[in-house]
Homo-oligomer: A and B are copies of this chain.
Amino acid sequence: PGKKVLIVYAHQEPKSFNGALLKIAVEELTKQGCSVTVSDLYAMQFEPRATRNDIVGHLHNSEAFNYGVETWEAYKRGGLSKDLVEEQKKVQEADLLIFQFPLFWFNMPAILKGWMDRVLVQGFAYDLSKAYDGGLLQDKLSLFSFTTGGGQEMYSKGSISGDIRYILWPMQHGIMHFCGVKVLEPHICYAPENVSEEKRKEMLAAWTQRLKNLWKEEPIDCSPDWYFK
């Protein structure tokens, strides 16, 4: 109660299974007394491309454009574009970040990757020697909630697609942990398009149930052991 949650949502269709998971999270967390904000990336037509347009006014070095350097400098002088400033404010205020998306090519969809690329700039999310446990977004939690095309048996050790945790490494460790954000267990709904209506209802009910006890959960130990052991 009183906690602030930002849900970054990347699906085109409100009637999709991802849309249903989003609706459940908004309703359940609001019922608990949380303040919930949603960044609905497709609806916002969120820009995924990292370009010169992200910097308002002059460049630090206009001879050779370096996105990392320019956004770092722009952040320090308050010169990032309005859409980025708004997303950073939402992140800053949040106690918990939930990412809701369909897995695309062993990863998040490009529109969500673009949110990571553009919002989590140096100076805001991390800095020189301020990364991982020293990252700038400490005291926040994150949770990756996603759907897959393939069934659970396809994402186990020894199967052709390997352990699903291999896929989580760049997202959970490489991004969230790098910024100092703690990581809760991922929430994975396997192949909702290929199961029965009954099974889909069970998966939705399980998400509601998990959210009821979410604030009691401990973060995972976000180290190579968790991913590759």
Contacts and interface: CB of A to CB of B under 8 A. Distances in A.
Interface of A: 12-13, 15-16, 42, 45, 48-52, 63-68, 104-107, 109-111, 113-114, 116-118, 120, 132, 149, 160-162, 166-167, 169-171, 173-175, 178, 193, 224, 227-228
Contacts of A104: 50, 113, 117
A47 to B, nearest CB: 9
B64 A175 contact: no
Contacts of A109: 50, 113, 117
A229 to B, nearest CB: 10
Nearest to A68: B149
Contacts of A166: 166, 169-170, 224, 227-228
A167 B104 CA distance: 16
Given A16-B66, A65-B13, A166-B228, A110 B106 contact: no
Contact of A110 (B64, B111, B193): B111
Which 4 A-B pairs give the minimum distances between C-beta atoms?
A106-B174, A110-B114, A106-B170, A48-B110
A67 B118 CA distance: 24
Counting every copy of the chain, the complex holds 2
Contact of A105 (B52, B106, B117): B117
A173 B105 CA distance: 10
Interface centre among A16, A51, A160, by most chain B C-beta atoms within 10 angstroms, is A160
Given A15-B63, A132-B160, A170-B170, A110 B107 contact: no
B169 A12 contact: no
Contacts of A149: 68
A46 to B, nearest CB: 8
Contacts of A63: 15
Nearest to A69: B193
A56 to B, nearest CB: 17
A84 B73 CA distance: 36
A167 B169 contact: yes
Given A48-B111, A50-B110, A105-B174, 18 more contacts: A12-B51, A12-B52, A12-B67, A15-B63, A15-B64, A45-B49, A48-B110, A50-B111, A104-B113, A105-B170, A106-B169, A107-B113, A110-B117, A162-B173, A166-B166, A167-B174, A170-B170, A228-B228
